[in-house]
Amino acid sequence: MSLYADGTFLDDAKLMLADFGITFTDSASNTFLAMVTDPSVTQALQAGGFLEQTSFTAKVAAATSAWTASDGRVGGSVAALSGGVAVSTLAIGKTASVANVGVRIVAVSHKPGSAWVILQLTTDTQ
């Protein structure tokens, strides 16, 4: 028996999201429960002065179909993973909303067998 094959990691991820997840909405209005880090503020010197940007990391369950959390909330209104890669609405450059804060996806990662799709987000300043 393999931890990857029987879904143990993904089942645990879904339980954690049911307990601690907040709502993440992508650009197509699909909703997911996500684990989101505390914000991190960085400064970059741009033409005209410093630009402050707030960034977050969000983790959504690497589910291949829609799912409902144990408390009845929508865990994922659509799959987050298709063919081993994140769905197109979770691609780099797409906008989203986390707890009613507008963000832009700047990086996406998923390791084969992992229970998580990890998204690097920044506040949407465009």
Q: Where are the domains of the chain?
A: 8-123
Prediction pTM value:
0.86
Residue 18 CA to residue 64 CA, distance in Å, equals 17
Express each pLDDT in 58-105 by its tens digit.
999 999 999 999 888 999 999 998 888 899 999 999 999 998 889 999
Reported as a single tens digit per residue, the pLDDT across 30-61 is: 999 999 999 999 888 888 888 888 999 999 99
Please tell me the distance from the alpha carbon of residue 92 to that of residue 117, in angstroms, as a whole number. 13
